[in-house]
Amino acid sequence: MQSQFVAVLGEANRAISALVSRLCGNSAGAEAVDLSTRELKALSQKLTQVAKLLGQASPAPSEEPTLQAALREYVDNLQKLRAVLGTAMDSLGKRRDRVRKNLEHLNSARAWAETFRATN
């Protein structure tokens, strides 16, 4: 059971680290990273699998150092992911606001052009 748990934690840690690296390592910011639904779904499934195994684990602390190290890394990775996703959410919110403003400007220009055509 514990070796399976360590293996699942390792997979989840690699997936989280890869996503955090992509989001942090992008010089253009989080806006330029293309996160596919498939990627996010796969990560969600890994996190769900870890949660299920955590629920089945005994409440007594494990003496296995490999499991303890994997759990520490998992917690650290989740904290990093939370911080990076918060930053990405802020960045995407600003981008959404710019897009809305540009759309309002475009609609105003379109209305002006239609009025100009109608009067001339």
* pLDDT, tens digit, 9 for 90 and up, residues 29-85: 444 566 778 888 999 999 999 999 988 877 666 678 888 899 999 999 999 999 998
Q: According to DSSP H, which parts of the chain are helical?
A: 2-24, 37-56, 65-119
Nearest residue to 43 via CA among 67, 70, 72, 11: 11
Domain ranges for the chain: 2-93
What is the per-residue pLDDT across 90-111, written as a single tens digit (0 to 9) for each? 988 999 999 999 999 999 999 9
Query: According to the model, what pLDDT value does residue 4 have?
Result: 87
Bigger pLDDT: 57 vs 26: 57
Token code pair at residue 22 = 């992509």
Listed in sequence order, the residues at least 6 apart from 66 whose beta carbon sits closer than 8 Å to its beta carbon are: 6
Q: Which tokens sit at 90? A: 């802020």
